[in-house]
Structure 1
Amino acid sequence: MGAILREPGKYEGKTICAATRMYSLKEIAAALSKSTGKNVVYKQVSNEEFANSLPDVLADLFVDYFGYINDYGYYGPGTVEKVEWAAKQARGKLSTLEEFLEKHPYKLE
């Protein structure tokens, strides 16, 4: 945010993809395991198995959403490059996922 306020013209019309970096689902599971003290694993399942694990009203929405991310990335085509560019624009130190979870532990029941 500080970079944008410092040079608003430079960022006019730009989209800032707010992330320190892209994490794989296995990396996210590992960070959650460390934060919660519980074994969290990433397991890829078929669209049908995933849909069957959700309430009917959400199944199609989430299957389509995660399919889009799988095909195009979280921020659409060029996600990795967009995140790298945005992270380079930031002033100061960005928080990693692990640092965030240290300050805000995730609770699993």
Structure 2
Amino acid sequence: MDGSDGRGSVIATRRQKHGENPICPRGRIPKSYTPKQRMARKLVTKRGRAIYAKRKVIVEPVYGHIKSCLGFDRFSLRGLAKVRGEWSLVAMCHNLLKLFRYGRSRIAMA
């Protein structure tokens, strides 16, 4: 998440087992915490868990589809500019496939 909605970014700090309910702390995050500790503390709050849960429907399915269905698991080129170009091409293919597959059904319904 980019934090543009005022809630800030959230990044996983560790793996969590299914059904594990962490203790929800109260009060402000201590200033002595490292950035990783601060993020871990943020993620165990109710608000932090709610923000992180949105990743399932916003971002993660796209990367999963690109990796598994399109078979894109590594970049072929080197250098930031070339990698950006390669990623733009992969993202464009993903979007065109979505339009091709799901755009036809919308046209038929209209």
TM tier relative to shorter chain: under 0.3
What is the TM-score with the length of structure 1 in the denominator?
Answer: 0.22
Q: Per chain length, whose mean CA-contact separation is higher, i.e. which structure has more relative contact order (CA < 8 Å, sep 6+)?
A: 1
